[in-house]
């Protein structure tokens, strides 16, 4: 039996005791640049330590891979798609948090041989918990959830294109503007995926496929009736070789987005720079 309530309680306690007391209270020395354009805070590291220790005590025998641990030891990701693994994103949307703004979140996923089994996504500001279990559906704050579109004439699309080259980014947005209401991305996957379920966005495009960013959200969206796959339509898999992610509230909207964004005009599927 999956430890649904124990993981939720752990995440809520870590958020309440470590994350929220430092929101808008970070000292300059609490923020570092871990790579060009990407920051990490003392909160990322302390939350990950607390989550790691708490998950280890559950006794499932799963390996534990956190975003910050993998930053220090990239070899941890080499076998992320093998066996039973906990994936931790202790503070998703770090740049937002460091700037004192929303959204930001916390994500945990339990993965077996690359396939997400269960996922938890916490919005610490709102207290909202999104949970999903493979084949068993999904809930928001304990209530059954089904993805719903915005029902706008022009579907709302949040396009994570900031890692694309300028030429490719212009081509994608040019194609998108003819069919979609293009929205700013929240820079937080823990917010992007729930927006597709809660009727706020219809489509989301991501270039990077770091597992802690997508394992939890892809399962949650899929279990609510939406669709999240790699750009070529292959199911998302931790440790897989697929490029990018395309997510939508319904399979029909996914196909529409794929036709427009991933066709020859956008030229994304063939990109060599996707990671």
pTM: 0.94
Q: How far apart are CA 65 and CA 228, in angstroms?
A: 22
pLDDT along the chain (275 residues), means of 10: 95 98 96 88 98 96 95 91 97 97 98 97 98 98 97 95 81 91 95 98 94 97 97 92 93 95 58 41
pLDDT at 267: 52
User: In three state form, how does the secondary structure of 164-199 look?
Assistant: CCHHHHHHHHHHHHCCCEEECCCCCHHHHHHHHHEC
Q: How far apart are CA 275 and CA 271, in angstroms?
A: 10
pLDDT at 273: 43
Tell which residue, 172, 177, 170, 207, has the closest CA to residue 189. 207
For residue 161, give both structure tokens: 């294109």
| Sign of CA pseudo-dihedral 149, 150, 156, 161 | negative
User: Hey, how many other C-beta atoms are within 10 angstroms of the C-beta on 274?
Assistant: 19
């Amino acid at each position: 039996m999956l430890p649904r309530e124990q993981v939720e309680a752990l995440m809520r306690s870590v958020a309440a005791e470590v994350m929220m007391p430092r929101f808008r209270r970070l000292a300059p020395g609490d923020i570092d640049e871990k790579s060009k354009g990407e920051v990490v805070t003392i909160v990322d590291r302390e939350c990950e330590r607390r989550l790691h220790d708490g998950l280890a005590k559950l006794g499932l025998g799963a390996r534990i891979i956190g975003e910050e641990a993998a930053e220090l030891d990239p070899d941890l990701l080499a076998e992320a798609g093998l066996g039973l693994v906990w994936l931790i994103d202790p503070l998703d949307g770090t740049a937002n948090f460091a700037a004192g703004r929303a959204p930001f979140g916390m994500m945990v996923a339990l993965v077996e041989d690359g396939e997400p089994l269960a996922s938890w996504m916490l919005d610490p500001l709102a207290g909202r918990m999104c949970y999903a279990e493979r084949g068993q559906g999904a809930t928001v704050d304990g209530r059954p959830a089904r993805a719903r579109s915005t029902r706008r004439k022009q579907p709302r699309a949040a396009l994570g294109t900031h890692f694309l080259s300028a030429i490719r980014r212009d081509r994608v947005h040019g194609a998108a503007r003819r069919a979609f209401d293009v929205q700013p991305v929240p820079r937080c996957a823990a917010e992007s995926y729930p927006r597709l379920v809660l009727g706020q966005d219809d489509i989301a495009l991501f270039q990077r496929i770091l597992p802690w960013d997508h394992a939890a959200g892809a399962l949650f969206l899929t279990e609510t009736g939406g669709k999240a796959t790699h750009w070529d339509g292959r199911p998302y898999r931790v440790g897989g070789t697929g490029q990018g992610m395309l997510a939508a509230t319904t399979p029909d909207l996914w196909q529409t987005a794929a036709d427009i964004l991933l066709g020859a005009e956008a030229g994304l599927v063939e990109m060599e720079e996707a990671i």
